[in-house]
């Protein structure tokens, strides 16, 4: 793979062939044919997943792999050119789908190895008819610009290309004269276009394409009437416009089929055309996708390989699509559509996160020649959860700041420069800019500390504008699910990596960390004891979690010490793990000011360095109290996603859990196994496992 994409071999492999060569019929980066998997009907492939999983990178790699070898087009549906009509063009004569078809055809038209340009007379005629609907008060120069760009879709690029260019100019002049004359504007423009195509020597081979619109519904065998109906439906908007856009998509595909028809074109063109749609959840993505799928369901076949990238897991319109993971399509997709469901023509392929080995290779490549801690790759993998964007950007930050930075937290707050022409920006802000919706960044920064809807409401009341209420919170939860972020019980923001970045932003929003402290103080109060004892244990864990985030450790130590003899051992370990998952962003004094050097004092406590200066409360076992205190700080440090796990602390964690296992005969086996598993998990960059527990690490 030209871009060294990791973990995506199921798409690009050549021996045995991955999904892309089986769809396109060509080996990536080669003009060598490969047997296609779906000879009669192709699936419309949709790569799904949240932000940062590398969907855009995959599409760019696919374009680079096939460009020049087979017709290929790539558009980003979030590009500004699809958001609104260009200056001077009325909305009634423009849509994201029509603009996308023009851009796609322009790219597909380019010559490839062994074959010349593809011409698009059907699509060209339709786009002129659509554009003519907006020329009512346009000046002749604007009409000329619009017409000439559309007409170039029919340029052959052959040895008589200069005649083709002059032909486009003549047709444009004819259309401008007709559109600015005294007759019916749209009708005159369409008539001039059709006449110019029919009379042209350059395009005599494609004269039959000019009559394709005769078969438009209700055209009565008259191409001019068919294009007039198309223009009228387009201007009507709503379902009528969707009908017109569907015929424009069909015209594009018919022109591509014409380019591959006959013996000589089939010999010259080895691979299928490839159309790539990035961010297809945004217009024009849904319109293009639905038009292709519905036509295929209606038996209108095409031979174009479509691969789209979709943020999230699906769209409601694709509820019947076939679903696979990327590893499942590595050798065969086993795709077969349901004749009763048009959306089953889509094949949704979820992109997985990268594995530890991929992280190791990415960090190693970025830090080549730079001394890097051996624990950096597994810690990076634990923090990012295998998010390719996160790994890549952290690796770049490490390359720019090692050996000076001592932790992932320091790498995230350090400025990085990703492009020579851009200013340096803190790494965590670069990541948030790409991983969360920009319009909700401020709200998510506050709500990242919440556990559920009620705690989110408490935070919103304390730190967000008055007009941001419970309904907005529910809408934001829905948006997060649509974005592909996981829903995790006990966490408002389910993705641990995104949540960590948001909390880091909350901590750095003001110099004295006022909002940080206000957020956690609000939640401490929210989870204060109530008369209802049924949820008291869960409320206590959340309250202690946020007190620990504020640097108040005694209540957590007291709770864990007092419940150790009586609480079920498995439940006690879960409580310890959850309470110690509190975010930690170095020590502060009583006024919230940073200590010099951003000192992390947890290791010193975990290793017993502060035992002599600590006085346990009266009436408790001092040895147990100090042991629990050391254990809490050890787990707090070792599970911190922003810190590199300390092997010495891991050794101490093992010892403390071993000693505790001697004090609980009933829970001896669980505590002893945790003493083996937890240090190993911490050093390997894995969440701490509760022995024989299927839970994912949350309380």
Maximum separation of any 2 CA atoms in the chain, in Å: 104
- Which of 27-31, 121-125, 172-176, 453-457 bottoms out in mean pLDDT, i.e. has the lowest? 172-176
More confident residue, 535 or 311: 311
Helices (H), 494-614: 496-507, 514-526, 536-549, 554-563, 569-579, 602-606
Q: Which two tokens stand for residue 471?
A: 């309904």
Average pLDDT over residues 621-640: 97
Omega within 30 of 0 (cis) for the link into 403: yes
Q: According to the model, what pLDDT value does residue 187 have? A: 80
The tens digit of pLDDT for each residue in 348-372 reads: 999 999 999 999 999 999 988 788 8
Q: Is 664 left (phi over 0), alpha (psi -120 to 50) or beta?
A: beta
> How far apart are the C-alpha atoms of 384 and 392, rounded to whole Å?
10
Give the three-class secondary structure for 550.
coil
Q: According to the model, what pLDDT value does residue 684 have? A: 92
Q: How confident is the model at residue 86 (pLDDT cuts 50, 70, 90)?
A: very high
List, edge to edge, every strand of the sheet that includes 346-350: 72-76, 274-278, 305-311, 44-49, 346-350, 322-325
Prediction pTM value? 0.92
Full 3-state SS string of 362-408:
HHHHHCCCCCCCCCHHHHHHHHHCCCHHHHHHHHHHHHHHCCCCCCH
Q: Which two tokens stand for residue 257?
A: 């089929």
Q: According to the model, what pLDDT value does residue 696 have? A: 45
The tens digit of pLDDT for each residue in 220-272 reads: 999 889 999 999 999 998 999 999 999 999 999 999 999 888 756 655 788 99
Q: According to the model, what pLDDT value does residue 592 have? A: 43
Residue whose C-alpha is closest to residue 128's, from 172, 97, 74 = 172
Q: How confident is the model at residue 184 (pLDDT cuts 50, 70, 90)?
A: low
Burial (Cβ within 10 Å: 0-12, 13-18, ≥19) of residue 331: middle
> How far apart are the C-alpha atoms of 292 and 298, rounded to whole Å?
10
Residue 137 has pLDDT above 80, yes or no: no
Other CB atoms within 10 A of residue 369 CB: 6
Q: Which two tokens stand for residue 438?
A: 């920009």
The tens digit of pLDDT for each residue in 578-608 reads: 999 999 876 554 444 454 445 678 999 999 9
- Which of 190-204, 405-419, 684-698 bottoms out in mean pLDDT, i.e. has the lowest? 190-204
Q: According to the model, what pLDDT value does residue 142 have? A: 84
The tens digit of pLDDT for each residue in 456-475 reads: 999 999 999 999 999 999 99
Q: According to the model, what pLDDT value does residue 699 have? A: 46
Q: According to the model, what pLDDT value does residue 597 have? A: 46
Q: What's the whole-number average pLDDT of the chain?
A: 89
Q: According to the model, what pLDDT value does residue 586 have? A: 62
Bridge partners, 44 (sequence order): 346
The dihedral over CA atoms of 462, 468, 471, 475, expressed in degrees to the nearest 10, equals -110
CA torsion through residues 278, 282, 283, 287, sign: positive
Asked if 493 and 447 count as a contact pair (C-beta separation under 8 A), the reply is yes
Q: According to the model, what pLDDT value does residue 167 have? A: 55
């Amino acid at each position: 793979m030209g871009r060294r994409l990791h973990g995506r071999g199921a798409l690009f492999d050549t021996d045995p062939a991955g999904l892309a060569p089986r769809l396109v019929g060509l080996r990536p980066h080669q003009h060598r044919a490969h047997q296609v998997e779906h000879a009669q009907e192709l699936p419309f492939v949709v790569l799904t997943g949240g932000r940062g999983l590398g969907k855009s990178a995959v599409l760019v790699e696919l374009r680079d792999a096939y460009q020049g070898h087979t017709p290929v087009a790539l558009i980003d549906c979030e590009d500004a050119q699809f958001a609104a009509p260009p200056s001077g063009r009325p909305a009634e004569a423009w849509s994201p789908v029509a603009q996308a078809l023009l851009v796609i055809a322009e790219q597909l038209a380019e010559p490839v190895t062994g074959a010349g340009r593809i011409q698009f007379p059907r699509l060209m005629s339709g786009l002129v008819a659509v554009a003519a609907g907006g020329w009512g008060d346009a000046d002749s120069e604007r009409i000329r610009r619009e017409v000439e760009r559309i007409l170039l879709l029919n340029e052959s690029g052959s040895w008589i290309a200069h005649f083709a260019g002059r032909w486009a100019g003549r047709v444009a002049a004819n259309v401008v004269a007709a559109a600015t004359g005294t007759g019916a504007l749209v009708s005159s423009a369409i008539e001039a276009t059709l006449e110019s195509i029919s009379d042209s020597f350059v395009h005599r081979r494609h004269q039959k394409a000019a009559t394709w619109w005769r078969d438009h519904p209700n055209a009565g065998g008259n191409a001019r009437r068919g294009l007039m109906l198309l223009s009228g439906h387009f201007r009507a908007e709503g379902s009528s416009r969707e009908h017109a856009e569907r015929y424009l998509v069909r015209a594009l595909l018919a022109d591509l089929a014409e380019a591959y028809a006959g013996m000589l074109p089939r010999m010259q063109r080895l691979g299928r055309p490839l159309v790539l749609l990035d961010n297809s959840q945004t217009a024009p993505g849904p319109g293009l996708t639905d038009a292709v799928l519905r036509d295929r369901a209606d038996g209108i076949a095409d031979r174009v390989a479509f691969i789209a990238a979709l943020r999230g897991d699906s769209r409601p319109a694709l509820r019947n699509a076939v679903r696979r993971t990327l590893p499942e399509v590595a050798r065969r997709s086993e795709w077969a559509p349901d004749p009763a469901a048009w959306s089953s023509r889509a094949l949704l392929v979820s992109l997985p996160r990268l594995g530890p080995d991929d992280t190791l290779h990415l960090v190693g490549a970025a830090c080549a020649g730079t001394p890097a801690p051996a624990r950096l790759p597994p810690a990076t993998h634990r923090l990012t959860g295998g998010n390719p964007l996160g790994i890549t950007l952290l690796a770049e930050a490490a390359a720019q700041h090692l050996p000076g930075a001592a932790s992932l937290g320091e790498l995230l707050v350090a400025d990085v420069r990703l492009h020579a022409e851009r200013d340096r920006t803190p790494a965590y802000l670069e990541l948030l800019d790409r991983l969360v919706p920009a319009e909700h960044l401020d709200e998510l920064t506050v709500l990242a500390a919440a556990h559920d809807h009620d705690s989110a409401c408490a935070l919103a009341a304390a730190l967000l504008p008055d007009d941001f209420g419970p309904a907005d919170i529910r809408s934001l939860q829905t948006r997060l699910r649509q974005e592909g972020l996981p829903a995790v019980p006990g966490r408002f923001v389910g993705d641990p990596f995104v949540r960590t970045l948001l909390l880091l932003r909350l901590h750095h929003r003001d110099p004295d960390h006022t909002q940080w402290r206000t957020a956690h103080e609000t939640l401490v109060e929210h989870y204060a004891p109530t008369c209802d004892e049924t949820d008291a244990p869960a409320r206590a864990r959340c309250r202690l979690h946020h007190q620990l985030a504020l640097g108040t450790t005694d209540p957590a130590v007291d709770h864990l010490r007092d419940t150790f003899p009586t609480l079920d051992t498995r439940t006690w370990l879960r409580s310890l793990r959850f309470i110690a998952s509190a975010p930690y962003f170095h020590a502060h004094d009583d006024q919230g000011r940073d200590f010099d050097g951003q000192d992390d004092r947890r290791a010193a406590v975990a290793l017993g360095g502060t035992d002599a200066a600590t006085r346990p409360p009266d009436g408790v076992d001092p040895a147990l109290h100090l042991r629990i205190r050391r254990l809490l700080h050890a787990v707090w440090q070792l599970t911190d996603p922003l810190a590199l796990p300390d092997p010495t602390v891991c050794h101490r964690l093992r010892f403390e859990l071993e000693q505790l296992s001697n004090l609980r005969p009933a829970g001896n086996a669980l505590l002893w196994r945790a003493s083996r598993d937890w240090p190993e998990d911490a050093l390997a960059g894995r969440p701490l496992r509760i022995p024989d527990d299927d839970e994912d690490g949350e309380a």
